[in-house]
Amino acid sequence: MASVRRTAVLLAAAALLGGPAAVPAAADPVGRTTALADGDAADGVLLSLGSVLLLTGAAAATVHRRRPGGPAGPRRPGPRRGGLRRSGGRGWLSGGMSTPPAPFRVGLIGYGLAGSAFHAPLIATTPGLRLDAVVTANPDRRAQLHRDHPGARALDNPDQLFEDADRFDLVVIASPNRTHVPLARTALLAGLATVVDKPLAATSAEARDLCEFAEKSGLLLSVFQNRRWDGDFLTARRLIEEGRLGRVHRFESRFERFRPKPKPGWRELADPAEVGGTLYDLGSHLVDQALALFGPVETVYAEIDVRRDGAVVDDDAFLALTHSGGVRSQLWTSALAPLAGPRLRVLGDSAGYVKFGMDPQEAALRAGRRPGPAATHWGDDDPAAYGLLGADGDAEPVPTDPGDYPAYYAGITASLAEHTPPPVDPRDAVATLAVLEAARASAATAKVVRLP
C-alpha cells in the first residue's frame, strides 16, 4: 500500500509540474532511500520519495506561488522569532520590505567539491545570506562542515530539509548532476527559491520544464555559472564592448588539464547516466561563456572522445560553433593536455586578445581563502599572467580585471530582496544544454548539426 501511495504522489507531482515523474530513478519501488554520491566521492546524500510525499494533497495546494505583478497565493508561515512571525521573506518571497531585513536562510544540498569549496564559502561571506543547514551524511564532510561553518546544521538527507521548508528562503543544489532535476522540482514544489549548480539538467527539455514551472509559480530559479565572473572572461568582454578589437570574428576558449589517471568518483568513473564527463562538466562553462558573449548558435560541430585508460565517460572534447551574428567559437576541454593552450584568444579585424593561465579564484577557494572585506586583493591576477592586446609585433600586456565570484550570490540576494531577475537566467542553461546535445549528435554522426 505504501508503494502504491508513493507512486500516486509522484504522478500527482508530475502532473503539477507538467512533466514526467523523474524521482523514481533515484529511489527503489518500495520507497527506500538510495545513497547518491556527493561531489567527487560517495557522501550519502539521500533522495527519497518522502521528499515528494510532503508536497501532495493539501500541502501542494498551499505552495506559495507568487507571480510577478500578480496576486500571491497562500504563503508558507515562517517560524516565530521572539514571539513574532517572520514575514516569509522579501521580494520573491513576499510582497514587501521589512527594516531591518533578516538574512535570507539558505539550505545547501551537497558538500563535495562544489558545495564545500564554492557554494558554502560564497554564501557564508555574502551580506544578506546565512548558511543555515547543509545536507551531507559523510562523517568526514560533516566534521569539515563543523570546522568551516560551525553555525550551520548538518542534515542527513534532503528530506530533512524539505520537511522543515518553513525555516528556509533559498535552497542551493550542489549534489551530483543526475539529482539536479528531482531535487530542484521538489524545492520549487515546496515554494523555495532555488539555485542549481551547472548543469541545470541532463537535457534541454528537462531544463525547460523547470524554467516554465518556476516562471508560472513566481519562484526564483537560477544556475550557478561562476565562470562568468572569471577575470579573463570579464576582461575579454570589456575589450569587446569597448571596441578595442574591432569586429570580432573568432573566439577560442579552453579548459584543459593533465590528469592521465581518471579521478575516482561519479564525474569520471561512474556510469554515463550520472551526467558526468568533461563535456557537461567544463563544456557547460565554455558554451555558456560563448553564448553570453556572442549570442545564439546556428550550427555545431563536435569531436568527443574517451582517451584515458580506465575512463568511462568523455575526457576530451572539441566544439566548433557558428553564432547567428557570424562569430565562430572554437572550444576545447580535456583531461589529457600535457601542454595547455591559451585560456582565451579573441580575434577582431583590428586587434586580438590572448590570455594564458586560469583565474585564481578557484585555487584560492580550494586553499581555504575566503572573499570579504579583509580579502583586499580577491580575484587579482598575477601581473606575469596578464594577457596581450594588439597585433603581432605591437601587442602590449593588459591588466586582467579582478575576478568576482562573490558577485553571483550578491546578485541572488538582490533578486530575493527586490524581486529582480537573477544574475544568471535559467533560460540561458536551456540554450547551453541545447548546444551540448547538438555536440553529442554531431560527434556521433561526424556531421554538422543545425539548431532549430
Residues 309 and 382 in one domain: yes
Q: Which residues lie below 8 Å from residue 441, measured CB to CB, with a gap of 6+?
A: 449
**What is the C-alpha to C-alpha distance for residues 449 and 142, in angstroms, rounded to an integer?**
46
**What is the C-alpha to C-alpha distance for residues 318 and 54, in angstroms, rounded to an integer?**
44
Helix (H, G, I), strand (E, B) or coil at 425: coil
Helix (H, G, I), strand (E, B) or coil at 233: helix
Asked if residue 12 is part of any domain, the answer here is no
Q: Which of 268, 297, 272 is nearest to 202 (CA)?
A: 272
pLDDT at 174: 98
Q: Are 36 and 47 in contact (CB under 8 A)?
A: yes
Residues 444 and 349 in one domain: yes
pLDDT at 50: 43
Helix (H, G, I), strand (E, B) or coil at 72: coil
**What is the C-alpha to C-alpha distance for residues 320 and 306, in angstroms, rounded to an integer?**
19
Last residue of a domain, one of 181, 201, 224: 224
Does this model's pTM top 0.85? My answer is: no
Residues 242 and 208 in one domain: no
Asked if residue 27 is part of any domain, the answer here is no
**What is the C-alpha to C-alpha distance for residues 182 and 170, in angstroms, rounded to an integer?**
16
Determine the length of the chain: 452
Asked if residue 74 is part of any domain, the answer here is no
Asked if residue 125 is part of any domain, the answer here is yes
Q: Compute the chain's Rg from CA coordinates.
A: 22
CATH number, position 446: 3.30.360.10
Q: Exposed, middle or buried: residue 231 (CB in 10 Å: 0-12, 13-18, 19+)?
A: buried
pLDDT at 101: 80
Asked if residue 82 is part of any domain, the answer here is no
pLDDT at 262: 83
pLDDT at 266: 54
CA distances (Å), origin 183, targets 2, 174, 359, 391, 418: 21, 10, 30, 49, 25
Q: Exposed, middle or buried: residue 410 (CB in 10 Å: 0-12, 13-18, 19+)?
A: middle
CATH number, position 185: 3.40.50.720
Asked if residue 408 is part of any domain, the answer here is no
Q: Which residues lie below 8 Å from residue 350, measured CB to CB, with a gap of 6+?
A: 245, 246, 247, 391
CA distances (Å), origin 411, targets 39, 243, 434: 25, 27, 26
Residues 94 and 147 in one domain: yes
Domain count, the chain: 2
Residues 144 and 213 in one domain: yes
Joined together, the cell numbers standing for residue 86 give 517572520
Last residue of a domain, one of 224, 248, 274: 224
Residues 169 and 302 in one domain: no
Asked if residue 21 is part of any domain, the answer here is no
Residues 215 and 235 in one domain: no
Q: Which of 283, 297, 280, 292 is nearest to 451 (CA)?
A: 297
**What is the C-alpha to C-alpha distance for residues 175 and 447, in angstroms, rounded to an integer?**
34
Residues 153 and 240 in one domain: no
Asked if residue 275 is part of any domain, the answer here is yes
**What is the C-alpha to C-alpha distance for residues 12 and 438, in angstroms, rounded to an integer?**
32
pLDDT at 155: 98
Residues 186 and 306 in one domain: no
Q: For residue 114, what are the domain limits?
A: 34-45+56-67+87-224
**What is the C-alpha to C-alpha distance for residues 312 and 330, in angstroms, rounded to an integer?**
25
Residues 138 and 240 in one domain: no
CA distances (Å), origin 243, targets 191, 240, 267, 368, 403: 44, 5, 39, 38, 21
CA distances (Å), origin 437, targets 173, 205, 309, 442: 23, 11, 25, 9
Last residue of a domain, one of 177, 202, 224: 224
Residues 218 and 334 in one domain: no
Residues 199 and 245 in one domain: no
* pLDDT in 10s for each residue of the chain, 452 residues: 333 333 333 333 444 444 443 333 333 322 323 334 344 444 444 444 344 434 433 333 333 333 333 333 323 333 322 222 233 344 444 444 445 689 999 999 999 999 999 999 999 999 999 999 999 999 999 999 999 999 999 999 999 999 999 999 999 999 999 999 999 999 999 999 999 999 999 999 999 999 999 999 999 999 999 999 999 999 999 999 999 999 999 999 999 999 988 877 656 655 556 667 899 999 999 999 999 999 999 999 999 999 998 888 899 999 999 999 999 999 999 999 999 999 999 999 999 999 999 999 999 999 999 998 888 899 999 999 999 999 988 999 999 999 999 999 999 999 999 999 999 999 999 999 999 999 999 999 999 999 99
